[in-house]
A and B are shown apart, each in its own frame.
Chain A
């Protein structure tokens, strides 16, 4: 009985792996920004990346949806598997990949379009709706998931850039959700937000984990502790420690992790 349970759990875990990175190296020209990173990121789980500025959290995050392709000097080596398939394989179209692995950026970046068009942007590009009614439905659903529907439902034609910072960020999250991604990457999504907006976004992340794998870069240890189940600590391009969030914060194995979470390096 006991044994059964354990086996079952391992089995679920293995099926549960969304991203698996093996010996990943990232270079910006000669600058070796990510060194030998191995990590398994789980489905339906919030994974937090923490670490001091410049340690490579964003770089690693961006290599998960090949956003680094847009930087000419950037080079990625090693294997990154999404559902067991190498995302850097020649037959993989980065554009398709990014539809599956959505991204929310540090600074809210709504397009200079109406709220409706912001959300409809991805579905339109990927042809997710067959007609206007379906598109309307996707927009409403996404805005609801972004926890911003009630605030904007009466002004879907107003420009997205006219919202407050917190609303804009939730709009961007709703926009990312609208393309039905399997993974959501968030690079410090709350760093430009006030505490109330931050709380709203955190609540949202918590809801999103029911259907997505969410990876969030954050500078706030409290935030990592509040929203994530798994935490990865990066330092100078190395993945120092990766474990359950509670373990990282209560019982870290590496002294560098301990120093960081107690505020001695950073």
Chain B
């Protein structure tokens, strides 16, 4: 039975449980007011116990069964067929493909279920091709045998799954239904149920994050098996070549990331903060009602559009000023793509981010604080500088660090605005590149995922992750220290 049908059955049982549980509770007393909880809670209680354990079990089973079956079938495959782990997983994917192809063939009526056992390995490829499942090579006896084993085990698993899930659903239903009486604290049960639901959601969020980190981590470890860590962290040259002999030093990339982010923040923080102060403290409500949405539109522009802006407008403009034969005649800038180009545009991108966060934070400073300052004869700007800003500072520092995280993680503007040359240079008009841009270029194209040149992307990602994490921890620390001091 397919998981969907099974789910439908459980759902039907759930609905029935709701109706019946409610009825049983109402019927158990002569006056509904004597029930411990409102009738709906009794219905929900039965529905919950019928649905949640069964569906949870189903979900876990659907995920785990293929892994278990694959593990078991892997043992069937003679080691003459493969030498490395990579080859084994190729064979396994053939097996799975044949197995699912056979399912399709049966579903389309090309093969009868009984034919399966007597199938000849040599004809399998044609048969499956006939139903639209294309195989890369002829199927060997061993693979066919393994595929058959795979199917059989999966089928058995499916049956057991159907039975177990239904038993759990019915058991939950019966347990709750038979336990329903006027004195049952159904309301509290439902409350617990909701709590468990919320905890589960939180757990899923945390576990996925953990999963992402772990996958980064394993690949990073694999990379360091192929490439020395000290050369990665302290190498000053970045020149990957897929032919071998790459130099994969992260320093030029980190420097590019840092330099561009710094310029971006130097643009975004003052402008964004001052805009926020103007909007929240000085602007009339009319100006505010127009200016705020406009700033927010700026925040909604996709970064690729900013990238185009950098490439087509800001870059040439800067070359016209700082380039050879430019207005200043200094000749600092060779081409349109430069740290400055990307930094400026990224700064523009971050302005609405900084300003709208700061605006909210400044507005959250209680009016009583301002009144107190005005009442002592302070002017508006004195009040803002000495009372409002200090009160808002932890939030603003947080906003700035968040903006920094975004700047560090930004990719498109860098790819289009800063160029692709990894370089350690102090000249802001040189082309440089960042960690994120290099992650993209290492993984696009025909990368061999076992080579250090591709795996380095994961350690770059991991480094970036650690840097942003440290930044966020720092933000939290500052905010907390400040709060302790002033709350």
Contact = CB atoms under 8 A, between A and B. Distances in A.
Interface in A158-172: 159, 161-162, 172
A161 to B, nearest CB: 6
Contacts of B390: 111-113
A111 B485 CA distance: 12
A98 B371 contact: no
B378 A125 contact: yes
B377 interface: yes
Contact of A98 (B374, B386, B391, B485): B374
Contacts of A179: 376-377
A98 B369 contact: no
- Interface range on chain A: under 10, 10 to 19, 20 to 34, or 35 or more? 20 to 34
A161 B390 CA distance: 13
Contact of A111 (B374, B377, B391, B487): B391
Contacts of B377: 95-100, 122, 125-126, 179
B372 interface: yes
A95 B378 contact: yes
A104 B487 CA distance: 21
A159 B486 contact: yes
Interface in A62-115: 65, 67, 70, 72, 95-100, 102-105, 107, 109-113
B485 A159 contact: yes
A209 interface: no
A175 B376 contact: yes
A140 B375 CA distance: 21
Contact of A121 (B370, B373, B391, B486): B373
B212 interface: no
Interface residues of B, number: 22
A111 to B, nearest CB: 5
A201 interface: no
A42 B72 CA distance: 97
A76 B374 CA distance: 18
B371 A121 contact: no
A109 B374 contact: no
A113 B368 contact: no
B374 to A, nearest CB: 6
Contacts of A67: 371, 374-375
A98 B375 CA distance: 6
Given A100-B377, A111-B373, 6 more contacts: A67-B371, A98-B377, A99-B377, A105-B375, A121-B386, A161-B486
Report, nearest first, the 7 A-B pairs whose CB atoms are least far apart. Answer: A99-B377, A103-B375, A112-B486, A109-B368, A98-B377, A122-B376, A109-B372
Interface of B: 284, 366, 368-379, 382, 386-387, 390-391, 485-487
